[in-house]
């Protein structure tokens, strides 16, 4: 075989795919669109870039260097967007901390990620006052506040974000380095055991951004271009808000950041700022549909991509009645995240809302460069007949290459050379993917994962409990809620309410995400098992959880 690697002219620039190229591109072609925070603060792209430079100068002055890790605990804000760029652009790693985790899990993720600095919204300073004694790696704390004044705290602060930025020059010569450098990290609780760190390189984020921008603008009725106004409704700590702040910046669209998620504020921003494109989990749509103000609003220009959980058809119809253009997508923390998107065709738009909803909530077709297979236990493709189920396994340029510092689970994730999603699905003859079940033992409550095994452990500590199985049950508001099915020891007398209080008292100790407080309890005579004696969660879900 002849070697035919390209020749490199010694003087040719060895271009690396770095995050800086995502922000430097739109600047040159679009200076009119703004980055808006809560409708109160506005920045042009030019101003935003200058703030990114100031932030890079501030980080460097604090001693943050290539390879260090910088954590953020904030609501969705322009500051967060600036950190999305400045931190990786100086070669450091951005750790987006899940603000909904329990205090113990937050400490665990900060220590595991080996964070050197943390940017903290003033709302979370009281939490840090409590947990700072358990944090050993961080030596720089920076406050983020709404009014530029640092709140009271026992932490030794480097200062407040705006005050720090105001002292810095507004240009920075961002270095070139290897495109395989780690740019971001965050933790998923979507598997059993401790939270697991996923990580993405500059090259992966750039490729994901370009692919999403291309795919979304090519799918009919899902266009995302410079006439759009973007507002995230998936938190920025979660999979880089599905990658869209990078896509929006790269394409130069107007961006609106809503701060803390408050339904009336978000809906108000949609109208006032003329938002046309958002994304969220179904629970957020549920919250918005319940807000009384919604009946007075015209939402007919608003496309909302739904993912993170299956959207109930009735919720889709409810949103469509308000004019919202719903399009489902599918992905996961480990996959950066976008894998598939539903396609809404011209013909479909002539159908009733009910008929459209069937297709809009389907998880749709894989995006370009995503090799998605549905396989049986032997890694053989199941027929694309809409009936044969199997696990979704994937390959794509932007999938996490493992779990941080966790070889065993990384190998398990990537067994056979494909990333295993733990999602069970069928493939329709036209290539649409339809998720039908989940092989992993976790429950998703309003976008946050809760481990059924950990809840089972809590219930089994009660003296009267002989056996317990926790499964997900359907819930209008949260999508899913944990349901604990309990067999009592013979002769034991305890009420469902007492057992519930037992579990709540454990959960309140801060060991699990607060969503697990939504657990329900039901006594049963026996717990169904599979032929090999494992708890048959699929059957239990069918029997009890509808």
Q: Report, as residue numbers or ranges, the catalytic residues.
A: 188, 334, 444, 449
| DSSP strands (E only) in 299-441 | 303-306, 325-331, 338-341, 365-366, 371-375, 390-395, 419-427, 433-438
21, 333, 451, 452: which one binds ligand AMP (CB under 6 A)? 333
Question: In 3-state terms, the chain is what percent helix, strand and coil (to 5)?
Answer: 35, 25, 40
Task: Report strand pairing: 433-438 vs 419-427.
Answer: antiparallel
Element (H, E) at 113: helix 103-113
**Site string (256-275) toward ligand AMP, x via CB under 6 A:** --------------------
Q: Decide: is 243 part of the binding site for ligand AMP (CB under 6 A).
A: no
- Distance in Å, CB of 374 to ligand AMP, minimum: 14
Long-range contacts, 504-511 (Cβ 8 Å, 24+): 506/458, 506/461, 507/458, 510/102, 510/103, 510/104, 511/102, 511/104, 511/454
Residues 6+ apart with CB under 8 A from 456: 468, 469, 470, 484
Q: Are 202 and 88 in contact (CB under 8 A)?
A: yes
> Residue 283 interacts with ligand AMP (CB under 6 A)?
no
Name the 3-class secondary structure at 81: helix
Residue 131 beta carbon to ligand AMP: minimum distance, rounded to whole angstroms:
23
Token pair recorded at residue 439: 């092989």
Q: How many CB atoms neighbour CB 162 within 10 A?
A: 17
| Site track 115-144 with ligand AMP (rule: CB under 6 A), x = hit | ------------------------------
Q: Which stretch binds ligand AMP (CB under 6 A): 4-12, 306-314, 467-475, 495-503?
A: 306-314
524: burial class by Cβ within 10 Å (0-12, 13-18, 19+)? middle
- Residues 6 or more apart whose Cβ sits within 8 Å of residue 40: none
Whole-angstrom Cα distance, residue 234 to residue 47? 25
CB of 333 to ligand AMP, least distance (A): 3
Structure tokens belonging to residue 285: 């749509």
> Considering only residues 259, 308, 312, 390, which one is a binding residue for ligand AMP as defined by CB under 6 A?
308
**Phi/psi class of residue 248: alpha, beta or left (left: φ > 0; alpha: ψ in -120 to 50)?**
alpha
Per-residue x/- mask for ligand AMP, residues 465 to 504, rule CB under 6 A?
A: ----------------------------------------
Site for ligand AMP, residues 351 to 380, rule: CB under 6 A: 363
> Of residues 378-417, which lie at the interface with ligand AMP (CB under 6 A)?
none
Beta strands in 91-166 (DSSP E): 93-96, 117-121, 140-144, 157-160
If the CB atoms of residues 267 and 311 are measured against ligand AMP, the closer one turns out to be 311
Written in H, E and C, the secondary structure of 4-60 is CCCCCCCCCCCCCCCCHHHHHHHHHHCCCCEEEECCCEEEEHHHHHHHHHHHHHHHH
Minimum Å gap between C-beta 337 and ligand AMP is: 6
- Which of 438, 462, 537, 541 binds ligand AMP (CB under 6 A)? It is 438
Of the residues 72, 435, 486, 512, which one makes contact with ligand AMP according to CB under 6 A: 435
Instruction: Give the number of other CB atoms < 10 A from CB of residue 261.
Output: 17
The residue from 273, 423, 441, 536 that contacts ligand AMP (CB under 6 A) is 423
Closer CB to ligand AMP, 89 or 362, in the complex: 362
Among 270, 328, 485, 545, which residue sits at the site for ligand AMP (rule: CB under 6 A)? 328
Stretch that binds ligand AMP, among 30-38, 168-176, 301-309, 319-327 (CB under 6 A): 301-309
Smallest distance, Å, CB 60 to ligand AMP?
Answer: 33
The DSSP secondary-structure symbol of 331 reads E
Cβ at position 440, least distance to ligand AMP in Å = 7
Q: Which of 75, 80, 200, 330 binds ligand AMP (CB under 6 A)?
A: 330
Which one of the spans 207-215, 307-315, 380-388, 480-488 is the region binding ligand AMP (CB under 6 A)? 307-315
Q: Does 188 bind ligand AMP (CB under 6 A)?
A: yes
Contacts with ligand AMP by CB under 6 A: the residue count is 18
Among 73, 89, 332, 470, binds ligand AMP (CB under 6 A): 332
According to DSSP, residue 199 is labeled E
Q: Which of 307, 312, 318, 446 binds ligand AMP (CB under 6 A)?
A: 307
Task: Report in angstroms how near the CB of residue 523 gets to ligand AMP at its nearest.
Answer: 29
Which positions touch ligand AMP (CB under 6 A)?
Answer: 188, 190, 239, 307-310, 328, 330, 332-333, 337, 363, 421, 423, 435, 438, 449
């Amino acid at each position: 075989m002849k070697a035919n690697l390209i020749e490199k002219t010694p003087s040719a620039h060895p271009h690396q795919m770095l995050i800086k190229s995502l922000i430097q591109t739109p600047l040159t072609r679009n200076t009119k669109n703004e980055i808006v925070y809560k409708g109160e603060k506005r920045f042009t792209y030019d101003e935003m870039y200058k703030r990114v430079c100031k932030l890079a100068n501030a980080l460097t002055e604090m001693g943050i260097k290539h390879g260090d890790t910088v954590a953020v605990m904030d609501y969705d804000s322009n500051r967060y967007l600036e950190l999305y760029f400045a931190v990786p652009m100086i070669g450091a790693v951005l750790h987006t901390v899940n603000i909904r985790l329990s205090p113990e899990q937050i400490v665990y993720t900060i220590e595991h990620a080996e964070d050197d600095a943390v940017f903290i919204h003033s709302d979370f300073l009281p939490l840090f006052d409590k947990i700072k004694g358990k944090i050993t790696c961080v030596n720089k704390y920076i406050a983020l506040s709404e009014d530029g004044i640092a709140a009271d705290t026992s932490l030794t602060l480097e200062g407040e974000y705006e005050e720090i930025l105001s002292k810095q020059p507004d240009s920075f010569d961002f270095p070139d380095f290897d495109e395989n450098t780690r740019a971001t990290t965050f933790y998923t609780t979507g598997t059993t055991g401790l939270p697991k760190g996923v990580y993405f390189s500059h090259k992966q984020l750039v490729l994901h951004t370009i692919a999403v921008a291309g795919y979304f603008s090519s799918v009919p009725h899902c266009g995302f271009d410079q006439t759009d106004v973007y507002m995230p409704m998936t938190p920025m700590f979660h999979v880089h808000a599905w990658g869209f702040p990078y896509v929006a910046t790269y394409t130069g669209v107007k961006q609106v950041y809503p701060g803390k998620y408050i339904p009336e504020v978000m809906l108000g921003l949609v109208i006032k700022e003329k938002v046309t494109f958002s994304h969220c989990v179904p629970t957020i749509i549920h919250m918005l549909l319940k807000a009384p103000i919604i009946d007075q609003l015209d939402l007919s220009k608003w496309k909302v991509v739904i993912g993170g959980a299956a959207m109930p058809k009735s919720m889709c119809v409810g949103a469509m009645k308000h004019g919202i253009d719903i399009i489902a997508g599918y992905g996961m923390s480990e996959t950066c995240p976008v894998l598939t998107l539903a396609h809404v065709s011209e013909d479909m738009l002539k159908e009733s809302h009910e008929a459209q909803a069937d297709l809009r909530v389907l998880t749709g077709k894989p995006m370009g460069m995503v090799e998605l297979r549905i396989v049986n236990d032997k890694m053989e493709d199941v027929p694309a007949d809409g009936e044969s189920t199997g696990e979704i396994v994937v390959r794509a340029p932007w999938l996490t290459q493992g779990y941080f510092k966790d070889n065993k689970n990384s190998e398990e994730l990537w067994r056979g050379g494909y990333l295993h999603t733990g999602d069970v699905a069928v493939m329709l003859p036209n290539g649409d993917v339809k998720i039908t079940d989940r092989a992993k033992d976790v429950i998703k409550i309003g976008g946050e994962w809760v481990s059924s095994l950990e809840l089972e452990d809590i219930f089994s500590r009660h003296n009267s409990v002989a056996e317990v199985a926790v499964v997900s049950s359907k819930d209008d508001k949260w999508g899913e809620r944990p349901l604990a099915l309990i067999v009592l020891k013979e002769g034991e007398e305890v009420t469902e309410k007492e057992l519930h209080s037992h579990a709540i008292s454990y959960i309140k100790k801060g060991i699990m995400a607060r969503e697990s407080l939504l657990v329900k309890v039901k006594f049963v005579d026996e717990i169904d098992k599979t032929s090999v004696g494992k708890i048959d969660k699929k059957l239990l879900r069918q029997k009890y959880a509808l």
